[in-house]
Amino acid sequence: MTGTEPQGASAPAQDQVRVWDVPVRVFHWSIVVLVTLSWASVENGYMKLHLWSGLTLLTLLLFRIAWGFVGSTTARFADFAQRPASALAYLRAMARGEHQPHAGHNPAGGWMVLLLLAVLLLQAATGLFSNDGVRFNGPLAALISSRLSDRLSSLHGTMFNFILLLVWMHVVAVLYYRFVRGENLIAAMISGRKPRDEISAQAALKFVPLRWALLCLVLAAGIVWWIAES
């Protein structure tokens, strides 16, 4: 397994194992910033900033989808997109107080990630066709009728409330793991490392070179640029 600290490190560091790559961590915290920026910009009427925030968000979402297929072990959908029965079994085991260590997302957390990605992607997509009823139109709003654009604008606003609910659920879960189960998920998403006893002994982690992440990001940015310029 890669990521073991040198023997000369302090005792806590020796027990730390690398589980998250840089692209996943940058994506995670960038989404936090962009969702906040999108909300603040529309609340204050900065629609140009809101547009650029949305396009950047869409770029990162497309990147994350690609990285979910070609990225490092814990970034891949194959690692955490398990059957619903697996997520339910994990939740039942957790309710019984059983500890099931996972290097990346556990089965229940994996479904939360998939749901967040899907909802954010829908939010970004509807934004492309939306309008503010005054002077702002999304880059693809002219391709559809004004009535359909209005409906998508309404959905765009409603979906944000659902995003807030998912964010709240995510925060509650993180706090539960921190203060009830003693697992610091925030620190892991910052440093990329977890204590060895918090990951499965059978985990075989592989990390993909950053140049592949850069290629995925460039391709995603190219797609979004093409959409915005259409």
For 134, phi then psi, to 5°, come to -125, -75
Give strand pairing partners of 193.
18
Predicted pLDDT at 95: 87
Beta strands 193-195 and 16-18, pairing class: antiparallel
pLDDT in tens, 41-60: 999 989 999 999 999 999 99
Predicted pLDDT at 100: 83
Predicted pLDDT at 14: 53
- Which residues fall within 8 angstroms of residue 121, CB to CB, at 6 or more apart? 58, 61, 65
Predicted pLDDT at 5: 39
pLDDT in tens, 101-139: 889 999 999 999 999 999 999 999 999 999 887 788 899
Question: At residue 230, what is the residue type?
Answer: S
Domain 16-192+222-228 has CATH 1.20.950.20: yes
Helices (H), the chain: 11-14, 22-43, 47-70, 77-80, 84-95, 107-128, 146-179, 185-191, 210-228
Whether residue 170 is predicted with pLDDT greater than 50 in this model: the reply is yes
Instruction: Using alpha carbons, select from 44, 40, 68 the residue that is nearest to residue 212.
Output: 68
- Give the pTM: 0.89
Structure tokens at 141: 């709003």
